[in-house]
Structure 1
Amino acid sequence: MAPNATRRSERSHRAILEAALELVAEVGYPKLTIEAIAARAGVGKQTIYRWWPSRAAVLLDAFVDLGERAAGEEPYVIPDTGDLEADLRGVLRATVDELLSPAYDLPYRALAAEGIVNPEIAAEFVRRVLEPSAQRYVERLRAAQRAGQLAADLDPRIAVELMTGPITARWLLRTLPLTHAYADAVVGMALRGLSPR
């Protein structure tokens, strides 16, 4: 019986994604190369270039795949328990935990840095990672507006940035601790400004 080419391609694809994540953790993004990814994955460089144009594109796919595997089958929705502050605290605390996890921290930083000099990777990162997450917040905030918990005239997209921006800035700069207590304070302060007058 002939080997199944599709299954072999899937195995190679998975090995390449895993190799990219392993190597960025081990050697850092500046030393990550297509050659190293190919060697770790046990494939030829031409296999990688057939699917991706650059190491950044491989890493982005690997990072998105990591998030999808962690999320499982069901798409994540921010809970709506009726207590907006508790719901937002819960999701921002989970974000803090994710950002501080080495599995996410190192590839996320690498992609953030690459996005500064590579507009295509930046646009793809926003489209595939940041925007889906922001839309989950927007949906939860719109539900809170309908329930009268937030000012009717606020822009939910800007409100999301009021909460996630400080968390991201503190994570990127590493100058001050990023903690659950900080996430709780950000939510509390943001909601004071966003509540109906």
Structure 2
Amino acid sequence: MKMIGIIASPRKEGNTAWIVNKILEGAKEQGAETESWYFSDLDINPCRGCWGCHKSDQGCVIKDDMQKLNEAMDRANAIIFGSPIYLTQMSAQAKTIIDRMFARFSPRYSPYFKEESTAEKKLILTFNQGNPDSGLFQPYIDYTRHMFELLEFTVQEVPVVTGMRNGPAHEQKDLHTSLKAIGSSAVNDFN
């Protein structure tokens, strides 16, 4: 099994990166091949809304690192997509990636990977926030989960890590075990 983590945060060593990598660590301990993708290491430009990706079979007209990320997603059985919550929603980096995924979906929002394979793409969507109230942004989190489900990802879990104002995620001892368990469970569910 191949699992990739997409860290859609401007900070390469922030809470989002730690959370995604801890989930990947749990998956790796169960034998999964894992890989992390950091937005801060990639050159991904915003979608132009030109529809060029649907006017020809050449894909997106923007030639940048999104092609490499698409290839990694194609090879993966499961994806962990992590974003901090900024101003009640995902980061600009996460939105940029998601908007660019438009090139990979047909007009009925069915992903092109479905045409090439009957295998489902499992997704773990994770958010982290400064506010300690895990339900504060629940409507937005539910909306985002539904968006990925419309894009025909099988959303397995949506862990929300709270209280980042009180200190970094890695200092919350209970998270080490619970996040690794999510990765481990994802691998076991796949087998």
The normalised TM-score by structure 2 is 0.27
User: Which has the higher Rg, Structure 1 or Structure 2?
Assistant: 1
Compare the two structures and name the one with the higher helix fraction. 1
Question: Which fold has the larger relative contact order, with Cα–Cα distance below 8 Å and residues 6 or more apart in sequence?
Answer: 2
